[in-house]
Structures are given as structure tokens and as C-alpha cells.
Amino acid sequence: MDSMKLLRLYQPRNPLFWFMLVLNVLSYALAWIVQNRALNTLGMLLVGGFALANAVMGMWLMWRLLKTAPPDSPNE
């Protein structure tokens, strides 16, 4: 993947960009909870499931941002 495509991720005027950042921070927080807190099996499964679902949604948003050009750049 070339660097020009990676530059498409930075779209501060696009709400998807900010939603992706929030999901990434939340995934990090959920993973930290799973690793550093003593949870029972049900708690571990619930928090781990939320963390995985959150990570998948974040990757999906990242893919959508890579497929769309920023509004202030010329179309390719």
C-alpha cells in the first residue's frame, strides 16, 4: 500500500474519521480492562466480545476512509 492511500485516513472534516478514532481508543481501553482486571468468565467474554466487535467496526471504518478521497483533494 503506498503512502498516498494512507494519507486518505486523515480526514478531520469527515465524521467517519473521528468515529474511527473513538472506536480505536475504546478498543484499547477494553483490551486494557481484559488484561489488567480480574474478571470472571462471563465478564471476560463480554468485555472481550465488545473489544473484538469494536476493533472490527474500526477496521471497517478505516477501509471506508481509504476508499473515499478527502473532499478537498482531487479525485483519482
Confidence at 35, pLDDT banded by 50, 70, 90: confident
Residue 1: what pLDDT? 55
Domain residue spans in the chain? 13-67
**Cα angle 27-29-31, degrees, rounded to a multiple of 5:** 70
DSSP assignment of the chain = --HHHHHTT--TTSHHHHHHHHHHHHHHHHHHHHHHS---HHHHHHHHHHHHHHHHHHHHHHHHHHHS--TTS---
Give the model confidence (pLDDT) of 40-72 as tens digits: 999 989 998 998 899 899 999 999 988 887 666
Among residues of the chain, what percentage have pLDDT more than 90? 37
Query: What is the model's pTM?
Result: 0.73
What pLDDT, on the 0 to 100 scale, is given for residue 53? 92
Angle at 63 between CA 62 and CA 67, to 5 degrees: 115
